[in-house]
Structures are given as structure tokens and as C-alpha cells.
Amino acid sequence: MLTAKEALERLKVGNARFVKGEATSQNHLSHQERAALAGNQNPFAIVLGCSDSRVPAEMVFDQGLGDLFVIRVAGNIVAPSQVGSVEFAAERYDCAVVVVLGHSHCGAIQATIDTLMHPEQPPSSNLMSIVNRVRPSVEILMQTELKGDLKKLSAHAVRSNVFASVNQLRHGSAVLEQLIEKGKLIVVGAEYSLETGEVTFFDF
């Protein structure tokens, strides 16, 4: 089992390979190796990321089958099912780190901005359930000068939303809180750049 520091370093080194176009984990496993994974898995990190088709965590961090426990949902939001998934992986596989991975040009962020700017045209109730999770991160920014610059507003909202999800995971689950208090788990935020492929990790 990797420590949180070792797990984060492995993710950072993998992303550096991805950015340079030197990914190594995309090689095909043999039938025997694939079959061995069918009986057990041992992921070293949990990634709560966005469903965006341009942000596949395994590729972004240059990891292979069985390396990451990935939870993907539009807007990398935290709802009960996501919390339960993180709890499951943290307890079952002793993962020491959870990375909440946001990304530039996030569609869920844009949908939230659009909804707040045009409340007379609400999205479907299902999409609204995602918008309502993102809304607090965007509303506070729309009360600043950023409201006049949609590009900057969106960029700041991506990070604000990541911070909110990290905070929810750290303080919205008794299971995760206990693991964090015991030093067995850390939750960190990060942002993936669609333009460069680089992942920036945030210090809190």
C-alpha cells in the first residue's frame, strides 16, 4: 500500500509523462495479467472526476487497469452515491488519497452559469440536480466583478467547485472524517487543463 505522499507523486509523475507524450501504461496487458485482475484489484488512489469525454483519469495520469478507483460524474459533484463510492474504496482497498479532479471549460459549470443568468429557462429536473450542487460555488462569484467576464468567471468557478467538493468529502462523511483524523486518508483538489494536459494540484 502506498502512502498518500507516494500515491500523489505517482500521479504527478504519470501526468508529466502524459503531457510529454511519453505515456507508458497504454501498452496491452497479456491475457494472463488481465485474468489475474478479474479476481482482485488493488487501486492506489481514488479519483472523483468529471464525466467529460476529454478527461479520462487513467490516461491523464498514465495509469493502467487496476491502478485507480475512478468515480465520474458531471461537474465532479459530491452527492450521496459519490460519497458512498469513496467510502467503499477507502475502506476496502486502503487507498490513502482522494483526488477531486476538475477541468477547464467544464460543461456543468457553464450549465450552472447559464441557469443563473437565465432562470426563466431552467434545464430538466435531472440536470437541475447537478446544477444545484454546483450553484453555491458559482453564485458567490457572480456577486463579484467576475460577473462581467464570463471566461474568468468560468475559470474561477471550476476551482471554487473543486474546493467545495473537497470540503464536502472531508466534512460530510463520518467514515472519511475518521480515516482523515487517523492519518489514513487525505483529500486533495486538482484541475486538468484541456489545452496543455497538465494537472495542477491545489494546496489547502
Whole-number pLDDT of residue 40: 87
Is pLDDT at 160 greater than 70 in this prediction?
A: yes
Residue 200 φ then ψ, to 5°: -105, 125
Residue 89 makes CB contacts below 8 A (sequence gap 6+) with: 43, 46, 69, 95
CATH says 4-201 is which class? Answer: alpha beta
> Sorting pLDDT into bands at 50, 70 and 90, what band is 27?
low
The amino acid at 53: S
In this prediction, residues 83-91 reach a mean pLDDT of 98
Distance CA 100, CA 169 (A): 9
Distance CA 174, CA 186 (A): 14
In this prediction, residues 162-176 reach a mean pLDDT of 97
| pTM of the predicted model as reported, rounded to 2 decimal places | 0.94
The predicted-structure confidence for 103-131, as pLDDT tens digits, reads as follows 999 999 999 999 999 999 999 999 999 99
Q: What is the mean pLDDT of the chain?
A: 94
What percent of the chain is predicted at pLDDT more than 90? 88
Is pLDDT at 203 greater than 90 in this prediction?
A: no
Residue 166 φ then ψ, to 5°: -60, -45
What percent of the chain is predicted at pLDDT more than 70? 97
Q: Are strands 97-103 and 45-49 parallel, antiparallel or unpaired?
A: parallel
Whole-number pLDDT of residue 39: 84
**133 touches 77 (CB < 8 A):** yes
The predicted-structure confidence for 43-81, as pLDDT tens digits, reads as follows 999 999 999 999 999 999 999 999 999 999 999 999 999
> Sorting pLDDT into bands at 50, 70 and 90, what band is 29?
low
> Sorting pLDDT into bands at 50, 70 and 90, what band is 36?
confident
